[in-house]
Every structure is written in structure tokens, then in C-alpha cells.
Structure 1
């Protein structure tokens, strides 16, 4: 989507304008200050969803940093349109200082060896490559975040080809510690392009960590009239289907396909009724249920999702 225009106080000063005027406009509620010396129109900022605000924060940081910066991790992911789980407010950038890890003015610096760092341009900013970006998320963030990112890049995206697991594994190289490389490879092995959304990816990763039986993804369900639809998750032996409802899909044009949100909800209800008519149970959950492992485990257990049967230990 088109982001609102940044208003930078240093630009106003160069044009001979009184930069204090921006502060007065912010105090009146006309502007929002999103970084020291950087403002956006308040109405435009308030209309943005949280995930659309973060790229603007990155652009704001780039406009005030003294040297051209290479953005990485969550910031590079946002610019590559790789899904992030949870709110992101801290901007992440590379540094050749092997101290790394320092935060200043909302920017956290991470050490990157300049000799091995590959950089591309995205939305006018320098970022780590798509492969390096998702590998960094797999190395340093949660298993759920790693799964959401890797599931995403295993599928072609607008203007971008799908990445293969072989490409991802080859990208590990010598850039990570042995422990980080193990985490990355475990996440790559688990990743599945059949996942339909970041919420589905996070749900599946949590199920795996909590020891629940792996479901089939995007299972085809047929009734007497033919194809009833596809279920996000299915446990065939239990005649149980699971649906993640992120709610955002009812606002996305690619999901609505010309329908109004209310029409999409009605179509979803009809699809679910047809699935239930085959004798399957259907359970649904949202971001609230996967907000924490204990809460999701309790939900799945109460709904009868089976646990993984682990091989008995031999003595």
C-alpha cells in the first residue's frame, strides 16, 4: 500500500522554514512525531494498521541516520514483505563493529562481517538479501517466527520467485555458530509451503513444539455435491478439522475477490457447514488462542486434538 509522506524537520530547515512549526502542528494533533525530527500527517498515521506502520518507522530511521545503512532481521523482513509475528517498533541495522547488539534512538545494531554480507536494494533502502533475512530470523527469533518466514518464502510472491530448501540450506555457510545453524536447519526441515497464512504457520509450529499430532495442511474435503472446500488443518483419523481465523483476510482484496466482507463471512459459514455435513468436527481459533503456548495447549486439548505418539524408549 502507499505509505504517507514523511515530513523531516531537517528538510524544513534547509528550505528556510521554522522547524518549530512542526512541533506546534504535532502539539495541535495535526501531525504525529514518529521519530526525533520526523513527522507524518496524524490522520494518515492513525489509519494505518500496525504492520503498515513499521515500514514507515524504518523509512524514518533511514531519513535521519548520517550514513546509508543496511537494514536486517525484522526490518529487512518488513521491506521484503516477509510476515512478522507480533508488533515491531525497533529498527534493526547492520554494523561492522563486532560489539553489536546496541540500541540507540530506536535502532538496534547487529554485527555483520562486511566480507560476507550480501546486500540488495528494496523500496529505495539497502537490506540484507531475502535468504539472509529469513535465515537470521530462524537463527535469532522464535521457532514460530522462523516457520512463518520460511513457509512464506517457499512460495512465489508478487514479483519474487519461491526459494527452495536447498537454496536456504546453502545460504547458512559459515555465517552462524553451530547452535544457530542447527536451529536454522530444524526450521527449514519443518517449513511447508502449503501453509496458507502466517497465523497457520505459527499455529503449526506451536503444535509441533507442544507435542500435538501433525495435521494435514490444506486438506481437500468433498461431500455428496463435490468439493466442499479445503481445511487449514485436518486430523483424518479423528475426523477433525481446524481453521485459523486471522480476521484480516476479511479485509484483503485477494481473499474477498470482489465480495463484501459480510458476503465472505456467509460463504465461509456455508463452506464450514458442508464440511461438518461429512461427519467432521470443525474447530476454529484466532491470534488470541496462540498468544501463548499454555493457552494454545489448553485449547487444543479441550477440543480433542490428539497428542503425538512418541516411540517407547528401549532399555
Structure 2
């Protein structure tokens, strides 16, 4: 993950800075204080919360190095996985013991078997592997948040489905193991964002047929992908998140241009005889209206008789 550089007070003082100069840099927004004796160079704005947590993990690493390796949400932040819906109030570590876990002083220490191939190194810090991180979170956090983590690991090609499945089998008999297997079975690297992961789960919970993810559509002289597709029902679905449009924005481009381009893209999809159903983040928690719109779109297709109400 691209993280801002960590600056420690003791190093800055040794290089000739004074506390007065540090305070001045903080007031000017050139430095952002992470914790006692730790800063990050952040002109204009503090770093994103995931990066902040990863930096805090680095700050505390020396103090807690003997207490296992960074794990759970701390490892997810360092690996650059989704951290939607996860709490950042503690640094999480796991040590290779069956007992002796504890919570305190801003650190949650987990005790669990830890094989050598379940430990990686990220920026000089020992962390649980991507597969182990996904499974640990799948055992301990909400289902949707865990699926988003697993989807992001698969989407970024940081792990493959077989390795995730092996990691889930290793934790057989541990607390939350059945839930971890369920998460791994539900994961799909075709989801390119948390919104798409949550949308996919909402679609399945609504009893709708499973969509094809990132389905290619032939436009006028180009091929582009839609988020969800039911080709046999002549319907596609698009999750419209702000992050999505941010990814489409080129340097110096007006956001309005992106919206116009997306509208033209939708016109091309409709010209192929496909109906388009869109939704936003707020719709995911109350998915019934979207489900009804999808059912109407399905029913309008030649093979959609079962969806007519």
C-alpha cells in the first residue's frame, strides 16, 4: 500500500529540528501528528485512516515486537485490503500460542497456531499472510465486511481461491471457523469495490439470480465492462459509487465530463437491447426497490416470464 513516510520525533530532533519548529509545521498543516512522538508529512490533509492505522502499527512495532506478528485489521491495512466496516481502535497481533490472548493498552493480542508460511513481511514489519489475514477477519467480524476483505484480496491477485480455501481448512475447530468457510465460499474477485461486494450479496439475499461480474459489452468500436449482467435476461446492473467515478477521472479532467461519458456509455449499452438498472450506496441497505426494478427489467426480456408479477 502506498503510505506516507513515518517521521519520529527523536529522529527529527537528532537531525536539528526543534520542538518549536515541529509545532509550527503542525499548525501549517505540513506535519500531521499520529501519536506521541510520531508524525507524517501530510501537506494540506492528514493521511487516509487505513494509512494512519498502518503507521500507528509501525510506531508501536518496536514496543510490542515480542508479542507476535501484526494480524487481523492491522495486517489488512498493511496489505492494502478493504477495511470497510472494521474497527481501528486497537493494533492487532497474533502469536503462535494456544492460550494467552489479551486486550489492553491499545493492542489486541490473539493466541493461535501460526505456521511459518502464514507470516509475511510488509515494509519491514512481520504480518500474517494475506490468506491468513482474510480468514482471521472472516472468523471475527461481520459477514459483509469479511466478504469485502476477501473480494479485495482476490481482485488484487494477492491470493487465489485455493489458498484461501486451504487457510480456512487449517482453522477447523477454531472459534468462527464455519463462518470463515462461508465467507471464503462467497468471495469473488470479480467485485472491484466494497460497493460491488455488498451489492452482490444484496442481490443474492433478494433471491435474484447470480449475476455475471464485469461482463464485457461491445460498444461502438470499443469493449467495456458492466458491473453486473444477466445476459439471458437482457439486463445489466451498475453500482454508482463516488469512488468509481474518482477512478475514471483523468488528471485535470472535469468531473462533469466523466458523468457525460458514463451517460454515453449507458446509451451504447441500451442500443444493444439491454436494460440498465442503477443504484447507489444508500440503496444497498434498503435493496427492495432496486430488486423490484431488476425484476421488472427481467420480466421485459423474452425469457423473463417467471419474473412477471
Instruction: State the TM-score bracket (shorter-chain normalisation).
Output: 0.7 to 0.9
Over residues 249-308 of structure 1, what are the superposed CA-to-partner deviations in whole Å (9 max), with x where a residue is unaligned?
3334xx557783644433322111111233433222233333xx3x2x23423534489x
Q: How big is the alpha-carbon RMSD for the aligned residues of Structure 1 and Structure 2?
A: 3.6
Which of these residues, 174, 182, 188, is aligned with residue 186 of structure 1? 182
In structure 1, stretches of 5+ residues that fail to align are 308-315
| 1:172-183 mapped onto 2 (5 Å cutoff) | 172-177=168-173, 180-183=176-179
Deviations 1:217-236 (A, max 9, x none): 2233347x576632211234
- Relative to structure 1, is the Cα distance of residues 87 and 41 closer, same or farther in structure 2, using a 3 angstrom cutoff? farther
Distance in 2, matches of 1:227 and 1:42, equals 40
Are residues 117 and 234 of structure 1, via their aligned partners in 2, closer, same or farther at CA, if it must alter by over 3 Å? closer
CA contact 1:208–1:214 (8 Å) conserved in 2:
yes
Would the alpha carbon gap of residues 122 and 305 (structure 1) be closer, same or farther in structure 2, given more than 3 Å must change? farther
1:15-62 deviations in Å (ceiling 9; x for gaps): 797668756765776643222332234535x15344443333333333
Instruction: Find out whether 1:287 has 2:281 as its counterpart.
Output: yes
CA distance in 1, matches of 2:259, 2:57: 35
The aligned runs of 1:48-67 (5 Å cut-off) are 48-62=47-61, 65=64, 67=66
User: Relative to structure 2, which stretch is displaced further, 14-23 or 230-239?
Assistant: 14-23
Partner of 1:266: 260
Q: What's the TM-score once normalised by structure 1's chain length?
A: 0.75
- 1:138-157 superposed matches below 5 A: 138-155=138-155, 157=157
Distance in 2 of aligned mates of 1:59 and 1:85? 21
Residues 4, 42 of structure 2: 8 Å contact kept: no
Aligned length in residues: 294
Structure 2: 5+ residue runs without aligned partners?
Answer: 299-309
Contact 1:283 1:303 in 2 (8 A): yes
1:201 maps onto 2:166 in alignment: no
Q: 1:98-117 to 2 correspondence within 5 Å?
A: 98-105=99-106, 107-113=107-113
TM-score (norm 2): 0.76
Cα distance in structure 1, aligned partners of 2:34 and 2:185: 39
In the aligned structure 2, how far is the partner of 1:114 from the partner of 1:216? 36
- The offset of 1:121, in angstroms, is 0.6
